[in-house]
Amino acid sequence: MQLGLVGLGKMGFNMRERLREGGHEVIGYDPRPEVTDVPTLAALAEALTAPRVVWVMVPSGPITDATITSLAQELAEGDLVIDGGNSRYTEDGPHEKLLGEKGIAFVDAGVSGGVWGLKEGYGLMVGGSDADVERAMPIFDTLRPPGPREDGFVHAGPVGAGHYAKMVHNGIEYGLMTAYAEGYELLAAEDLIKDTQAVIQAWTNGTVVRSWLQQLLARALKEDPNFDQITGYTEDSGEGRWTVEEGINHRVPMPVIAASLFARFASRQDDSPTMKAVSALRNQFGGHAVQRISESG
C-alpha cells in the first residue's frame, strides 16, 4: 500500500522504516532536508497516487492544526488523513469537519510503543468510520505487534475515540511510572538492600508487578545505577492533565493518576513553596526547627 507520512521525528522515522520493511511504499515529508523524501507538502501530495492516504505524525497542538489545514488545501475528495500524534480528542471533530468540507476522510490514531516500536510494533487505538478504518487496515496491521489483531489494535469507536483511548492509556502510564519510581526510592533508602537494581531485575519474571515499564526501569538502573547522569525534572506532554480533567468531568475518582501528575509538577521545583509553608507551620505551632537558607550552604 502507498502512504504519505508527515513528520519523521523519533516515532515517524521508525514507522517509515517498519512500513517499508513490511512492503509498503512510504513517501515521507519533514522540514529537515536530511530525512525528508520530498521538499514540501505540495510535493508529497503530487507524489502520491489518488485516492491518497496521508499519516500525520507531528507534535500535537498548533503544529498538527497547521499541518491538517495545509493538507486540506493540497489533498482532494476521496483522500484520507490519519492523525497519529497525541492530539487531544476534542480537536478531532474540528479536524474531521475541516477536511470533510473538501470530501477528505479523517481517522484519529493513538500510537504507543515509543522508540521500541520499530522492532516490537506499535499499540494502536483508532477512531473513525468502519470504511475509513478498513481502508487503512494494511497500514495498521504492519505497524501493530505480531499476533492476534485484538492484542495490539482496537477500533475504539467514531472519530475522537482513538485519541481518547490513548489519553487514558497515558494517564495510566503516569500512575504506573510513579509507583515504580517510589518503590525504587524506598529500596535505595534501606541499608538492608545491597543491590537495588538486582531486586528490580528479579521482579522481571514471575512476579505480579512485572511489566515492560518495570523492565525498562531495571535497564535504566543498570546503565546508571544511581541516576547520577539525570535530574529529577519531569515534563508532562498533556495526556495526564487531560485524563484528570476527564475524571472530573465524568465524576470518576482517580487519585493515583492525579497524584502522579502533581508529582511531575513537584519535580520542577528547586525549593518547594509548599514544603516551605509546611516547615514554617511546624515551627509556628510546635517550635520545630527550620533550616535557614544561610544554614544550608
Dihedrals phi, psi of 171, to nearest 5 degrees: -65, -45
Q: Which of 25, 166, 246, 295 is catalytic?
A: 166
> Could you tell me if residue 160 is left (phi over 0), alpha (psi between -120 and 50 degrees) or otherwise beta?
left
d(CA 264, CA 266): 5
For the question of residue 173 being annotated catalytic, the response is yes
For the question of residue 166 being annotated catalytic, the response is yes
Contact 8, 38 (CB under 8 A): no
Give the closest residue to 83 by CA, choosing from 102, 100, 105, 101.
105
Q: Which of 173, 194, 223, 295 is catalytic?
A: 173
Percentages (nearest 5) of helix, strand, coil residues in the chain: 55, 10, 35
Give the closest residue to 233 by CA, choosing from 268, 273, 185.
268
What cell was used for 166? 490513548
d(CA 204, CA 218): 8
The catalytic site residues sit at 166, 173
